Structure 1
Amino acid sequence: MPAFTTTEWAILFLVLLLGWLLGLISRSGKKWRRLYESERDARAEEQREHEVALSAANARIAELERGRVAPAAAGAPLAGTATSTPDTLDLTHDDLTRIRGIGRSGERRLNAEGIYRYSDLVALTPAQEASLEHKLGADDGYIEQEQWREQAALLDAGRQDEHRARFG
């Protein structure tokens, strides 16, 4: 094996390094460019799909809002029942969790029973109250004990400060 000087080793190393770099550049430049362009195109297509889905959802929301506002604008009175029905439901609801004793799961169960607004709770008769307690699995007298109707009346009237002072 021939003996190399330090300068020859340095030159040999530089030539090998230069060859390796040229090989990488000449062989893989197009490959990485193609991969980048395909990834960029896929991302652009995904963004277009999201924009189409978003515009369709916004159009559906606008359609539902127009349908909700039309009966109210016509002056059609809502039925005076204690619970909302699909015919009288205006797709908005009050935050029933503001009432002490009602959490998120309780609100979902009340919604399943057709109670969406504070006025629905205020309008409950004692018989409906007892039936609701039974359906919710609550103890007898729980609604009266937690004063749901009183709390709902305050919140329905927009007296949040008084509600906060009395019920926390």
Structure 2
Amino acid sequence: MSFTLNQLALLLIALAVGWLLGLMMSGRGKYRRLWRDEQVVQRAAIKDRDARIEAANARIAELERQSGPIGAGTATAVGGAVHGRDDLSRINGISQTQEVALNEAGYHRYGQIAAINAEQEATLEARLGLKPGTIAHEDWRGQAAELERGHKPGLFSRLTGSA
């Protein structure tokens, strides 16, 4: 049986590829060592992450044991007291995003909204992208005054003008 030159070349190429694959797959190969090193680093990172999560959960449990129960409305009251702000979104017509814009404009309390004049009203309407006259139409000043006094403004009181 005789081989042609092409067949011998293909046989040598197949042998070389097999030899290279064998080296790569062996435990002494460079890539195998790098892969094992990467696995060790990954396991260590996972253990570290799990330890941090466990420590955080233990800290949360400790803080929950130390604090008393939180009643309804406590979070809003504490947030307002800590930051010195009222919840302006309680005024009908003010959304959460508009409340943020009002805070950025320097309006943090109901008393500030109740005390705005017509010029400031027009400036706020332009800043919030509202139609002119919206603040007066929705009676933000009256609602803010009611909230400042501790009353929740209702539709009946706004329609009749009574407190």
TM-score, with length taken from structure 2: 0.48
Bigger relative contact order, structure 1 or 2, given CA contacts below 8 A and separation 6+?
A: 1
